[in-house]
Structure 1
Amino acid sequence: MTAVLENSCAPFATVSGSDLQVPLVDGTTCTYANFDYAASAPALTEVTARIAELLPYYSSVHRGAGYASRVSTAAYEKARITVSDFVGAQHDSAVIFTRNTTDSLNLLAGCVPGDTVVLDIEHHANLLPWRNRRVVVAADSISETVARIEAELSAKPAALLAVTGASNVTGEVLPIRELAALAHRYGARILVDGAQLVPHRRVDIGDLDVDYLAFSGHKLYAPHGAGVLVGKRDWLDAAEPYLAGGGAVRSVGIDHTEWAPVPARHEAGTPNVLGVVALAAACQALVAHEAAGSVEHERALSTRLRNGLASVPGVELLTVWNDSPDSVGIVTFIVAGYSQGEVAAYLSAEHGIGVRDGKFCAHPLLARLGCADGAVRASLGLGSSDGDVDRLIDAVGTLVVDGPSWTYEEEAGWWNPVPDPRPFPDLADGAAGVGSPCATRTVSIAS
């Protein structure tokens, strides 16, 4: 079904799990094809190597006199410099380490001295935290959407415009430079949710004139548990600490507390040293990979995937705008006659392909796209290849032409093969008393 590329696209970089063998319901195994990078990207080899390098020195930071603690402290603060350089932070910017993008946005939400304007297409992490939220309904074109944002900003003063850099549902990229200029024209600052944009495109906030940027390590080819908020210091220094506790203070008495300035002000408690150092290593690796052509690699694969899926009868690709000039490697679709959960279960059980199905923590957007029950999302990354893309296109085509070869049933909103003979490895087996994947899944279908 798929055409042969003139220049084949092998994986651009080596990631953890690249040779993972997974069981299928027919008793065979195959190499896992990961199309869930937009949720969590596997760690780059450069990142796992940096973690292994730091582990012998792994210790608590900032207040330890021991050699290992001093090394860990230096590595942690060096990571702050690396991240600052990676995003082009300016002299008046602070880099605060958090747990993830959601954590970063909630932190900033407590610092905004006024209203925040957002779009209805946002991930819940950039829709729900803002205390004085004004929602602009996106139009069918980016140009008209920008005009609607301007109308909202001009009608009533706002402190902040908070927008996604790239949609986590469709991958479409917003005109950040234009939106930054627009926000500043009306006296507002701009926050970019970079969770989906930063792993795919360099975001230089100095060049773009962006005031705040948030992103996650786990989408940036580093392990879970570390995120970043970078931006202007004044709001962050004026706000109450995000968490009250050790490390966020200069001095404490029974009746008085003197809080530290940023970044310590918002980094109370023992930080995730390994996660932060891993995140910084990912930033360094991405700079090198981009220089070697990673963006062009992704664009070639994205085009192949979009064209291939669009050629399958009954498959519809989702888009927000009719004039979007660019998108990252995220392709979301529906298959006529099949629930999104059934499609995802079929791809996993019969083809060893991992996609994401559901509403992607963007319920208002899925509803306006006519997919209130959800869709299927396939997302690409540095470890993706044209062979992976072809497998997915062919598997979807087989589903449309021949139907599934196994039986699938829905239980509590979750689709599973019935029976599901695939075993779990020992590290996960028996989580619910039974070693089958369907018995141990406890995720919510709401996202």
Structure 2
Amino acid sequence: MTSTASTVPAAAPAASGAPGSARGAGSGAAGGPGPLAELVDAGLEVPVLGGGRVRHVNLDVAASAPSLSSVAAHVAAVLPYYASVHRGTGYASQASTALLEDARVSVARHVGARLDDHVVFTRNTTDALNLLAGAVPGETVVLDIEHHANLLPWERGGRRVVVARPTFAATLDALATELARRPAALLSVTGASNLTGEVLPLDVLADLAHAHGARLAVDAAQLLPHRRVDLEASGIDFLAFSGHKAYAPFGAGALVGRADWLDAAPAHLAGGGAVEAVTLDRADWKTGPERHEAGTPNVVGVAALARALVELERLGDDARRAHEDALAARLHEGLAAVPGVRVLRGFADLDDRLGIATLELERGSVGLVAAALAAEHGISVRAGRFCAHPFFDRLATRANGLRVSLGAGSSADDVDRFLDALARLVADGPAFAYDRTPAGWCPRTDDRPRPSFA
């Protein structure tokens, strides 16, 4: 393989998409965990090059996770009652209002919100953090490991970036030095890196921020679908997260946190529902969540998000962690056996990590590998820098990486399918020809039929 040529000739014939195994056929199902939860894509078959179909293996859930089947059923049940909220007098309108406000209570309970915290519904984590950025009364300190959603919004109020050290202990010292050097209003960190999967000790960071007169905000987009977060117990002041990563891909997210900053901030959106009264000369803005929720809310998305959190609770925190730890161990053990593969790590002293691995190849293009995994093996991964460019550029030696991410619907067979296909592609290259186009690597001749809606 090569990452510079514009085209790649077909390699020696290999299986044209059936999930072959360099480690033994069927090795995934026996001796490893199956899916922990039922997702709507369970059993989905996708076409592969050369004809035929295989079971889809979705290892890109860190980007967007499929809906839980129970969440999809809940959405179908509430859709007939969808109507305007808060001011409608009809039965369906009152049902939708109750659905929205009950969801607010469910979300607050799930994340251990304090009694006086606000739960503001947003489009996603990016929207939530941009909302918070308009409320911070001073500068914000961040690490260079952040997703762009937790790196870019803070520029408006003054952003100070601390470059993370090779260990978290040294990084903590660097943060303490920066917070002591000049006061900041907020320390904003990721709960878990979307690049390495490493989980940060949030209670330690909360104590550090508070000791220097700052508050702590957490981008929990990656963490919340995998681990329970408790604001009150950990000392977190603000939490932002998305439904589309938490098995509720219906366009809703949330910002949960301290009321005083949110009530004092300018309305995130100017429009109906956010005001008590309007004249041509002035507007009297509401306090509370409605101040930042102008316009018709995404009732269905909010209901889906709340139900997804309830379903994750039903799965159990211990069961979710045991399931993911077993699969992650299987993944990393397998990656260590593939020649020419390097897995990125940010902190030498953080052993706690989610089922996320970003790897780079000594030779060849990860973009080509990702395309071949999908087109020839029915396996979805992601290639690129994962909206964490500064962190990736500091850790990596190549231009792009390949990220594999596991979730509640993942199984040992998924991991083995991926490892077998990756080993084959690294050793022999793709079985079909690909062109490098402005849209990325694409099969030169793509005979896979598209679904009717595409």
**Which TM class, normalised by the smaller chain length?**
over 0.9
The equivalent of 2:226 in structure 1 is 200
Alignment of 1:286-297 (within 5 A): 286-291=312-317, 293-297=319-323
Paired residue for 1:158, among 159, 184, 187? 184
Return the alpha-carbon distance in structure 1 between the equivalents of residues 129 and 424 of structure 2.
42
Q: Aligned to 2:358, what secondary structure does the other structure show?
A: strand
Residue aligning to 1:10: 34
Pick aligned residue for 1:280 from 306, 315, 318: 306
Tell me, yes or no, if the aligned pair for 2:228 and 2:317 is still in contact at 8 Å: no
1:72 pairs with 96, 114, 117, which one?
96
**1:431 maps to which residue?**
none
- Pick one of 401, 405, 413 that aligns with 1:379: 405
Secondary structure at 1:206 match in 2: helix
Paired residue for 1:119?
Answer: 143
Q: Pairwise mapping of residues 322-341 of structure 1 onto structure 2 (< 5 A)?
A: 322-341=348-367
Q: Unaligned regions of 5+ residues in structure 1, if any?
A: 429-447
Aligned residue number for residue 52 of structure 2: 28
Structure 2 contact 360–398 (Cα < 8 Å) conserved? no
Tell me, yes or no, if the aligned pair for 2:250 and 2:300 is still in contact at 8 Å: no
Structure-2 separation of matches of 1:178 and 1:46: 36
Is 1:363–1:372's contact at 8 Å kept on the other side of the alignment?
Answer: no
- Does residue 1:53 correspond to 2:77, yes or no? yes
Count of aligned pairs: 428
Superposed, 1:413-432 pairs within 5 Å as: 414-428=440-454
Question: Is 1:265 paired with 2:291?
Answer: yes
Query: Could you tell me which residue of structure 1 aligns to residue 347 of structure 2?
Result: 321
Deviations 1:270-310 (A, max 9, x none): 00000000000000000111256111001100110011011
What SS is found at the alignment partner of 2:221?
Answer: coil
**Corresponding residue of 2:130:** 106
Counterpart of 1:364 (choices 381, 390, 397) is 390
Q: 2:195 matched to which residue of 1?
A: 169
Taking a change above 3 Å as real, the CA distance of residues 38 and 178 of structure 1, as seen in their structure-2 partners, is same
Supply the distance in 2 between the matched residues of 1:256 and 1:413 (Cα, whole angstroms): 48
Q: Does residue 305 of the first structure (1) align with residue 331 of the second (2)?
A: yes
Whether the 8 Å CA contact 1:366–1:372 is kept in 2: the answer is no
Give the aligned partner of residue 82 of structure 1: 106
Counterpart residue identity of residue 37, structure 2: A
- 1:151-210 alpha-carbon deviations (Å, 9 max, x no partner): 100110000000000000110011111000000000000000000000000001111010
Equivalent position to 1:92, from 116, 133, 140: 116
Give the C-alpha shift of residue 256 in structure 1. Answer: 1.7
In structure 1, how many angstroms separate the alpha carbons of the residues matched to 2:362 and 2:82? 52
What does residue 38 of structure 1 align with? Answer: 62
Counterpart among 248, 253, 260 of residue 227 in structure 1? 253
Q: What SS does structure 2 have at the residue aligned with 1:400? A: helix
Q: How far is the alpha carbon of 1:323 from its aligned partner?
A: 1.0
Question: Which of 347, 353, 356 is the matching residue for 2:379?
Answer: 353
Which residue identity is paired with 2:393? A
Q: Percent identity?
A: 55
* Structure 1 residue 219: Cα displacement: 0.3
TM-score (norm 1): 0.94
Partner of 1:435: none
Mapped partners of 1:291, 1:117: distance in 2: 31
- TM-score after normalising by structure 2: 0.92
Which runs of at least 4 in structure 1 moved beyond 6 Å after TM superposition? none
- Please give the root-mean-square deviation of Cα atoms over the aligned residues, in Å: 1.2
